[in-house]
Amino acid sequence: MDQIAIVILNYNGKSFLERFLPSVLTHSEGFPVYVADNHSSDGSVAFLQETFPEVRLIQLPVNLGYAGGYNAALKQIEATYYLLLNSDVDVSAGWLQPLRQLLEANPRIAACQPKLRDFKQPQLFEYAGAAGGYIDYLGYPFCRGRLFDTLETDQHQYDDAREIFWATGACMLVRADVFHRLDGFDPRFFAHMEEIDWCWRAKNAGYQIWYCPDSTVFHVGGGTLHKSNPHKTFLNYRNSLAMLYKNLPTGHVFLNILIRLVLDGLSGGRLLVSGHWRDTLAILRAHFAFYSWLPFLRQQRNALAELRNNRITHPQIYPHSIIWQYFAKGRKTFRDLRKNQ
What would the pLDDT profile of 31-55 be if each residue is shown by its tens digit? Answer: 999 999 999 999 999 999 999 999 9
pLDDT value for 174: 98
pLDDT confidence band for 128 (50 / 70 / 90): very high
- The reported pLDDT for the residue numbered 312 is 56
H/E stretch holding 213? strand 208-219
> Domain residue spans in the chain?
2-219, 230-310
- With 90 as the cut, is the pLDDT of residue 340 above it? no
Cross-strand bridge partners of residue 79: 2
pLDDT class of 224 with cuts at 50, 70, 90: low
Q: How many DSSP H helices and E strands does the chain contain?
A: 12, 14
Concatenated DSSP letters of 117-179: EESSSTTBB-TTTTT-EEEETT--EEETTEETTEEPB-SSTT-S-EEESB--TTEEEEEHHHH
Confidence of residue 22 (pLDDT cuts 50, 70, 90): very high
Mean pLDDT of the region 225-248 = 90
Predicted pLDDT at 250: 83
For residues 119-145, give the mean pLDDT: 97
Residue 332 CA to residue 229 CA, distance in Å, equals 25
Does 304 or 22 have the greater pLDDT score?
Answer: 22
Confidence band (pLDDT; 50, 70, 90) for 225?
Answer: low
Query: For the chain, what is the mean pLDDT?
Result: 94
Residue 223, pLDDT score: 60
How far apart, in whole angstroms, are the C-alpha atoms of residue 228 and residue 209? 29
pLDDT at 227: 65
Neighbours of 19 (CB within 10 A): 15
Q: Which amino acid is at 324?
A: W
Mean pLDDT across 146-168: 97
pLDDT on residue 310: 56
Spatial CB neighbours of 278, under 8 Å, sequence gap ≥ 6: 230
Q: Note the pLDDT of residue 341.
A: 47
Q: In what order do the strands lie in the sheet with 150-151?
A: 150-151, 146-147, 141-143, 133-136, 317-318
- Is the pLDDT at 183 greater than 60? The verdict is yes
Q: Which CATH architecture has domain 2-219?
A: Alpha-Beta Complex (3.90)
Are 259 and 240 within 8 A, CB to CB? no
Q: What are the angstrom distances between the C-alpha of 120 and each of 89, 90, 126, 143, 219?
A: 11, 11, 10, 19, 8
Q: Tell me: the pLDDT tens digits for 185-210?
A: 999 999 999 999 999 999 999 999 99
Q: Enumerate long-range contacts of 176-183, CB under 8 Å, 24 or more apart.
A: 176/5, 176/74, 176/77, 176/78, 176/79, 176/80, 176/81, 176/82, 178/110, 178/111, 178/202, 178/205, 178/207, 179/74, 179/82, 179/110, 180/74, 180/75
* 30 vs 100: CA distance, rounded Å: 14
CA separation for the pair 57, 35 (Å, rounded): 5
pTM of structure: 0.95
Distance CA 37, CA 330 (A): 43
Q: What are phi and psi of 111, to 5 degrees?
A: -160, 155
Taking CA atoms, 301 is separated from 32, 314, 340, in Å, by 37, 18, 33
Residue 137 contacts residue 323 (beta carbons within 8 Å): no
pLDDT for res 222? 74
**150 pLDDT above the threshold of 80:** yes
CA 114 from centre of chain:
13
Q: Which of 232, 226, 181, 175 is nearest to 205 (CA)?
A: 181
Residue 284 pLDDT > 50: yes
pLDDT confidence of residue 1: 84
Over pLDDT 70: what percentage of the chain? Answer: 96
Average pLDDT over residues 228-245: 95
